[in-house]
Amino acid sequence: MILAITLRYDFYENDKHFKERFYLSKCFKDIFEKLNILLLPVVSTTELKKLVKICDGLLVTGRAIDINPKYYNEETTNETNLSDTYNSEDELDFTLIKAFHKANKPILGICAGIQAINVCFGGSLYQNIENHSSKNKENVTMHTINIEPNSFLEKCYNTNQINVNSFHHQAIKKVANNFKITATSDDGIIEAIEYNNIVGVQWHPEKSYDMDFFKKYFDIYF
């Protein structure tokens, strides 16, 4: 199996010669190596048709640069983190999501990935929320989410509640048409959505090396 996965942009201020780089969390490498799944890293939409043809699905990863609020008809607030050096991640995510959806191939969105899926299909975001970020904290923020019956997550965990990590300061506001909310936190933040073979989760299952999540996902959708 071959899975397309988005690489993410970062700017390394202290590197005099190679400031701009793309990266992928080692967690993904470790997890998919165990699952015997080949990851095909994607940084552009070059040869898009060929990419979609050879890949069995798409994983839209988290990212440090927020989605530009213009895509959901809002002005940028002070809390929204946009880049001064690179602004192509929105176009990359939306183009990939549309192409894989058109080909009826499974799509998984993690953290900013769920947000990109939601905005791509017409939804909107809260540009800033409280108490859901682990940034600059010694310990990872954890909280309980409530899982809807008959959802992928219920099939995955066989329960209606689990604890998940938090590494985000934005979240879904208006849910895109046709998508079902399948998990929420106790404070009402949307933690998961589903539509046909598209799944988005707001936390990072790769960070906690949640093999059950990924194994079940591929068992069900591939």
String of DSSP letters for 114-155: HHHHHHHTT--EES--SS---TT-SS-EEEEEEEPTTSHHHH
β-pairing verdict for 38-42 and 20-23: unpaired
Tell me which of 17-21, 93-97, 132-136, 215-219 is least confident. Answer: 132-136
β-pairing verdict for 2-6 and 171-172: unpaired
pLDDT at residue 91 tops 90:
yes
Give the pLDDT confidence score for residue 31 in this predicted structure: 98
pLDDT at residue 140 tops 80:
no
Q: How confident is the model at residue 136 (pLDDT cuts 50, 70, 90)?
A: low
Mean pLDDT of 153-164: 96
How much of the chain, in percent, has pLDDT values that exceed 90? 83
For the chain, list the domains and their CATH numbers: 2-221 (3.40.50.880)
Task: Count CB atoms within 10 A of the CB of residue 118.
Answer: 25
pLDDT at residue 167 tops 90:
no
Catalogue the active-site residues: 111, 204, 206
Give the pLDDT confidence score for residue 138 in this predicted structure: 63
Give the pLDDT confidence score for residue 11 in this predicted structure: 86
Q: How confident is the model at residue 131 (pLDDT cuts 50, 70, 90)?
A: low
**What are φ and ψ of residue 49, in 5° steps?**
-60, -40
Are the C-beta atoms of 220 and 189 separated by less than 8 Å?
no
CA distances from 98 to 49, 108, 154, 209, 220 (A): 12, 13, 27, 28, 21
Give the pLDDT confidence score for residue 222 in this predicted structure: 95
Mean pLDDT of 70-79: 94
Q: How confident is the model at residue 135 (pLDDT cuts 50, 70, 90)?
A: low
Higher pLDDT, 135 or 101: 101
Q: Which two tokens stand for residue 151?
A: 């959802």
Query: pTM for the complete prediction?
Result: 0.94
Give the pLDDT confidence score for residue 160 in this predicted structure: 97
Q: Which two tokens stand for residue 149?
A: 């019956």
Average pLDDT score over the chain = 94
For the chain, the straight-line distance linking the first and the last C-alpha, in angstroms and rounded, comes to: 9
pLDDT at residue 132 tops 70:
no
**What are φ and ψ of residue 181, in 5° steps?**
-75, 125
pLDDT at residue 51 tops 70:
yes
Q: Assign residue 151 a region (left: φ > 0; alpha: ψ between -120 and 50; beta: otherwise).
A: beta
Mean pLDDT of 22-39: 97
Give the pLDDT confidence score for residue 137 in this predicted structure: 60
How much of the chain, in percent, has pLDDT values that exceed 70? 96
